[in-house]
Amino acid sequence: MQNKKIKLTFLTAHLSELTELDQELIAKAKEAFTTAYAPYSGFLVGASVLLDNGEIVSGSNQENVAYPSGLCAERVAMFYAGARFPDAKIKSIAVSVISKNFEVTDVVSPCGACRQVMAEYEEKQEQAIKVILHSPTDEVLIANTVEDLLPFMFKSPLLKKH
């Protein structure tokens, strides 16, 4: 038996320390959470995606009374980007949250399903995606690759037919 370690790298910062472009991406994510449909959880999430063609695409979480039928903001934004701009690569994604029911003071990390979708886009485009997680207190966590959020991501070339 061997004991192994995984090293993850991420940055923490205050919103004011980020580049203008990253601040704009977060502003778009905050704007997007105002369109969230979250009557059950009251948890509003917005995501914005920066594409290599300069476009910024946003999405918000959309709940449904049949809970598994809803969709997270990150996937809404990424799937829309993929459908609208199929040849563009995703450079970064910003996620921001707020709750109607309780105070959020920390960054909130994407769920496993969203991480897996991000990982697949990263693999598909053969280029890292920067993930920027923003809290209502303007604290930010930045991962320069999805792999730092999902080190054992599911990716198997055996599933693809050649």
Active site residues: 74
Locus of tokens 């080190």: 151
* CA neighbor of 149 nearest in space, from 9, 5, 1: 9
Alpha carbons within 13 A on the beta-carbon side of 158: 2
